Each structure stands twice: as C-alpha cells, then as structure tokens.
Structure 1
Amino acid sequence: MTKNFDFLMPSVNFFGPGVIEKIGDRVNALNMRKPLIITDNFLAGVADGPVAQTLTSLKKAHVEYVLYTGVEPNPKIHNIQAAKKLYQENKCDSLITIGGGSAHDTGKGTGIILTNGDDITKLAGIETLKNPLPPLIAVNTTAGTGSELTRHCVITNQATHLKFVIVSWRNVPLVSFNDPMLQLDVPAALTAATGMDAFVQAIEPFVSTNGNAITDGLCLQAIKLIEGSLREAVANGHNIQARTDMVQAEMLAGMAFNNADLGYVHAMAHQLGGQYDAPHGVCCALLLPAVEQYNIVACPERFAKLAQAMGENTTGLSTRDAAELAIKAMRQMSRDVGIPSSIKAIGAKPEDFELMATNALKDGNAFSNPRKGTKADIIKLFQAAYDQE
C-alpha cells in the first residue's frame, strides 16, 4: 500500500538568467513594505553582485529596506540576535536573504526568534514552531545547500560548538530566486564544497526511510546532473551551462530532502562543522563514503541504482557488487573536485568523537537513516572518516 506523505516547497520558485530583476515586483505583490535584507559583508560589497542587483530591483519598485551584513559561515546565535535587533529597531515587516545556506539559515533563525521566542535552543527538533515567521524571500547564490527551498534551519551555539536543527514547514520561504548568472564568479573551492553538499543531499534522501516515488525521481535526476556538471563548474566557473545544470540539480536535491529527509552524513556533518567551524559541504563530502559503506547492507538495491545514476556500468554484476560501485563513484567525485581525503584536514580529533557521536544521534536527520546505529557505531564511522586515505 502506498504510504501517505506531504510535499513541501516554496509557493513560487523563479529560475533562470536575469530572474533577480523580478524581486521588486514580487516584494510588492506580497505587501512587504520594509524588508530586512540579510547577507554577508563580502556579497554586499560586490559591484553589480547579487545584493546590488536586488537593491536596484527594490528601488525601482519603490521598496524601502534595511541591510544586515553580519552573516557568518555556520551562522551563530549571536548573528540572529543581532539581525532581530536591527529588524525591531527599524520596524521591518519581512525578510529577504541573499547568499547561500548561511544567509538563508540566518534569515530563518531571525524569523524564528522574532515570532517564537528568543531562546532558539529550546526550539531544536521537528515541528516545534507554533507561530508563522515573517514573510521570507530567499535569493540563492550557490548551488549547494537547497536552504532557499527547505524547512530546515541550522544554527550553531557558539558557547557549546553544537549545531542544532529546527525543522518546520513554517521555515519554508514564500518565494525563492535561483539565477545562475549570480554564480559565475563563485570560487572553485566554494563551488566544490556546495556542489558536494548538493550531491549528498541527492544521495541521502534516495536511501532514506522516508522517501517516496516523487523524491526518488528528484534524487536520480539531480545526481545525473551533478555527475555531468560539477567537475566542469569547478574547473571553469564561467561555463554557463554547467552552472545552470548545477542550480537545477541543487533545486531538485533540495526538494527531495525537504520531503524525504536525510541521514547520518548530515547528522554527523553538523557535529564536525559545529566543533571545528568547518565548511558544511566539505564535512558532508568527507563523511559520505564511510557512512554509505555502512548503510549498504540496509538497502543494496538502492545503492545499485545510485551507481547507475552516477554513470557506473553495472551490467552482469550482482546487486551487492553494483552497490559497491556507488561508493567508488562517491570517492572519485570528491577527489576530482579537490575535497581532502580525511577529516584530519579540518582538524578533527579522535578525543571529540564520543561527544560528537552522542549529539549526532540526537540530530533531526539521524532518524531517517536506513541503518540504525548505536553511539559506538557512529564513533567508528567518525574514526573511519579519520583514517581514510
């Protein structure tokens, strides 16, 4: 029997070269009179960059705005508190995020504490939000996290180095903008990190216990697009077709995991990123082979299909042998785009593994992993990612 499921995504998603010009009209259509724009200092300073283009569109639409440029990688509680203060002082009524996952998470986190209470740590978990966020528009500038589409908000507690997730349908932006032309000058290392995040976000929902026929299709198409475009986007960032394909892949993967959820790769990556303030996509890529090797026994037929989507020739192979080719392809993708081989590269220390394993099992992404593990299992997976060459 087919199980019931819901399917969440923004009500409107603008995609393609030049769509950023539409933001002013959409802001007016939503009656957003004074949005707080949330971005980082670098993007705010780029001449004719995504922030400048957004502001031009808003000015043409006669929209008043306030600018917050304090977004940091792995956004912290103090970032959202500062944004909230600016929002209230200027009597803003809505939010616009410009950037990658860090900007979108900062915007979601700001919205959460504006309407659901100032202590966001008490809201960690799944569907804990009782009140809607202010109207939120997300302008995306990286092909990676999918945060412009999703119900996930990831914040770091700077005091404990612990990342926590608030998963709620109330976090889904009303509108997203994905203009590939905004990504042409994204550096190769960032392209690789965010691209690997999208790759993982297409793989984990496909083997998740919460997947369905719709998310399966999204995952497989995303993987095929990433296989055909990520290496080129890293090697030549001005390849417009590669950038366009990566944006489409990122959107497909975002829609997939927004509805089918993720697994231990993300649950563990949140601990690595929080503990060592490391790039999220790199953390995911470093953990991917070890975790999925562990997961194969739970659903080898799924991994065999992944191998085919990644371009591996599985003709004449047993299901298990075909599944092993998926792990091989994951490792090869990471090597090709310059991801280091071991979590040693981000400063991981074995003495931290026990605490990180404990917290990983509490992460909202852990519950849909296809193979259920113990703390000892997760410690071993961290160790495997530490030892791999």
Structure 2
Amino acid sequence: MLKENYDFMMPSVNFFGPGVVKKVGQRAKMLDMKKILIVTDQFLNELEGGPVKQVEDSLQQAGVDYVIYDGVEPNPKIANVEEGKKIYLDNACDSIISVGGGSPHDCAKGIGIVLTNGDDVTKLAGIETLKNPLPPLMAVNTTAGTASEITRHAVLTNEKTKLKFVVVSWRNVPLVSFNDPMIMLEIPPALTAATGMDALTHCVESYVSTNRNPITDAQAAQGIKLISKYLRRAVANGHDIEARTNMAYASVLAGMAFNNADLGYVHAMAHQLGGEYDAAHGVCCAVLMPTVEKWNIISNPKRFAEIAELLGENIEGLTEMEAADRAIDAMIRISEDVGIPTNIKDLGAKPEDFEKMAENALKDGNAFSNPRKGTKEEIIELFQQAYEA
C-alpha cells in the first residue's frame, strides 16, 4: 500500500547531456564560490584530458580559484574525510566540488559534514542527524550507478571497525549536479558493470520499498527498462554514446527514486560485505540481489511480476508467482552477461562473519523499508545462500 503523504527531494539544479561539464565554472561563479576544494581520486586527477582537467578548465575560464584533494579511496574511509577537511581549512576554501563516482561524492559530503557538524562523523550516522548546512556543494558525476551526486546519502567506512555507515540528510543533497556522458566514455567495463548493477538494484529496491510513491514508481520503472536495454551495450563498448547517455539517465532516475523511496536488505547487506572485505559496492549489490529478492517475492508477487516485464521477460500465460520468478532469472542473466561474480565467496566472504554482518545489516538505515521483515537468523541464511550460489 502506498503512503498517502510523502515528500520528494532532489538537487535544485541538474545538468544532463554531452558537454554540460563546461557549465561548472559558470555555476560556481553564480553560487559565489571563491576557493573550491575539488574532491576526487588519483586516477581521475591524473587522467589526461579527463573529467578533473575539464572541471579545472571550466573553473579557470570563469576565474574561480580551487585546490585539489585526490586521496579518495574506494569505499571512502574516515581518514579520507579528515585529510580532505585539513586541505579545505589549510587553503581557506569556502565550497566543494566532487568529481567522480560514489566514492568522491560520498567523501565530499563527509568533508562537508565534519566541517559544519562536528569532528566525529561516526556519531552522525543515521537519518536526519545534521543540524547545520554543509558548505556549498556541487557534484560532477563520472559513472552511471551510485547516483550519489543527487542523493542525501553519504556512505563511509570506519576502517578500524570495518563497518560501513550512512549519514542520511537532506542537507547532504548537492546544490547542483552534472551528468555528462562524454566524460564517462573511458570507464572500464568492470566498473561500468558494477555501477550499472548498483543502479538496477536502486530501481528494484525502490520499486518494492514500503516507502515508495507514484513518482518513485515511475522513475524506478523507467530506470529498469533503460538498464535492461543499455547496460550490456555500455559494458561491451564504452564509446557507445547512446548507451552511455541512457545509462546516465537511468542512474539519475534510480537515484531520484531511492532518494525518496529508500532501499532494502540488498543494500543493508551489501554495506556489510563492502565494509568487511573492502569489496566494490555495485558488485556486492549485484551478487546479493537475486537471493534477497527471491526471498522478498512473497511480500508482493505482483510487483515482482511487473519487474519481470520491465526487464523484458514475456510473462504472458504465467501465474503471478511464475512471472515473479522470471524477474529473478532476468537479474541473474544480466549480471552474468556483464561479468559479475556469481557468489559472495568470490568476494572473500567468510561464513564465520555472517552473524556479525547480519546483526549490523538489520541496524542499517536501508533495512527498515524492505518489504519483508526478517530475523537475524534469516539474514544469516540469506548470506549463506548467496555464498553457495
């Protein structure tokens, strides 16, 4: 049953399409950004003619000063946030631009959080814990998957405990986002696959979430259709501009959907895998999704039958449960086609860790909107099934 009342949030300005990265400097000037901290990773910063260089060119043309922090790691750590904060303060910055995929965006949000809401970001984990606004933040996206450039989620890793945690707040939503498919052309196939499967997970979990609404339903449905049609092409040929453009659109639609509908156990469990074994987030989601969603089917088989059809399955003449099962088959097939591992054993998972991971998954902010409610023992069993898949 849909909620009768709901809100809907997204960045106030969003640029889409080939060449929009050139507008970064203009927007920075409009927002009165005078000294910007660019938050990115070393690979993107050193990529000749890459997205960081294009952002620099745009800022220079607009006469806006900046400094670069390129120490962001995959699954960004608290140490990355602290390093970025130091550079921000040492250079008297007044604003932030993130350039990259989910890791630079999340790290940039983390830097903004500790600059204005207290030094210990772990104490701010949870939903709407932030009392103060972040410094002005813009996000230039380079992957089609996480949608962190438009969401209120900042996902960080405590390297001491190996636990991922999420700070969810409307204050984290960037003021402006940029999705330019022309700066995504050099993304390697494996990263294209992982981020694309993350976007698919966002759509599926949003579509069956207990917090969904008519707007998020429309976004998630269109996102599923686009990913089903274009992800394989984008993995096969990164310079397929039509595929890249449509995957960028799909990722943004998925982000808008889950930013408002929330997610479920796939992400709650994936955060434990990524934190414990430093595994790629999109891969964690892709490997877990068939197992978790198969378990979820009884909560709303009609929704899963619709997902099957959105994924291109012919469900004519099938019962609702048979059609719902086709959705799981389609998820497995697209995952295999783009080269995702088949089980979490391949990600380094160890059964002796499952109890702790299950306990933490049920505490994750994404768990509360899952359509089926599980016990710790049931989550352990889901980890085990994904291990043996």
Q: Which residue of 2 aligns with 1:187?
A: 188
Give the structure 2 partner of residue 174 of structure 1. 175
Question: What RMSD over aligned residues (CA atoms) do the two structures have, in Å?
Answer: 0.7
Deviations 1:58-78 (A, max 9, x none): 000000101100010000000
Q: TM-score, normalised by structure 2?
A: 0.99
Partner of 1:139: 140
Residue 314 (structure 1) aligned with residue 312 (structure 2): no
Aligned to 2:223: 222
How do 1:328-339 residues align onto structure 2 when only pairs under 5 Å count?
A: 328-339=329-340
Residue 155 of structure 2: SS of its match in structure 1?
A: strand
Q: What pairs with 1:260-271 in structure 2 (closer than 5 Å)?
A: 260-271=261-272
Q: Deviations over 1:69-96 (max 9, x none)?
A: 0010000000000000110111100000
Partners in 2 of 1:338 and 1:51 — Cα distance?
A: 28
Q: How far apart are 1:223 and its partner, in Å?
A: 0.5
Distance change >3 Å, CA 341–CA 34, structure 1 → 2:
same
Whole-angstrom distance in 2 between the partners of 1:3 and 1:161: 39
SS at structure 2 position matched to 1:255: helix
Q: Deviations over 1:112-162 (max 9, x none)?
A: 000000111111000010100000000000001010010000000000000
1:383 aligns with 2:384: yes
Write out per-residue CA displacement over residues 133-192 of structure 1, whole angstroms, 9 at most, x where no aligned residue: 000000000001010010000000000000000110000000000000001110000000
Match of 1:238 in 2: 239
Shift of 1:386: 0.2
In 2: Cα distance, 1:326 partner to 1:352 partner: 30
Question: Percent of aligned pairs with the same residue?
Answer: 66
The 5 A counterparts of 1:262-281 are 262-281=263-282
- Name segments (4+ residues, structure 1) moved above 3 Å: none
- What corresponds to 1:15 in structure 2? 16
> 3-state DSSP class of the match of 1:43?
helix
Number of the residue aligned with 1:151: 152
Q: Report the AA paired with residue 385 of structure 1.
A: A
Give the match for residue 260 of structure 2.
Answer: 259
1:250 aligned residue: 251
What is the deviation of 1:334?
A: 0.5
* Alpha-carbon distance, 1:318 to partner: 1.0
What is the distance in 1 between the residues matched to 2:267 and 2:44? 27
Tell me the distance in 1 between the aligned counterparts of 2:20 and 2:321: 45
Q: Please, which runs of 5 or more residues in structure 1 have no aligned partner?
A: none
Query: Which residue is 1:209 aligned to?
Result: 210
SS of the aligned residue for 1:153 comes to strand
Counterpart residue number, 1:118: 119
Which residue number in structure 2 is paired with residue 54 of structure 1?
55
Q: Tell me the distance in 2 between the aligned counterparts of 1:341 and 1:22.
A: 41
**Are the aligned partners of 2:271 and 2:361 in contact in 1 as well (CA < 8 Å)?**
yes
Give the superposition deviation at 1:2: 5.8
Give matches, 1:159-170, under 5 Å: 159-170=160-171
Q: How many residues align?
A: 388
Q: AA paired with 2:342?
A: S
* Amino acid across the alignment from 1:3: E
1:5-51 per-position Cα deviation (integer Å, ceiling 9, x unaligned): 11010000000000000000000000111110000011001111000
Say whether the 8 Å CA contact 2:67–2:91 is kept in structure 1.
Answer: yes
List alignment gaps of at least 5 residues for structure 2. none
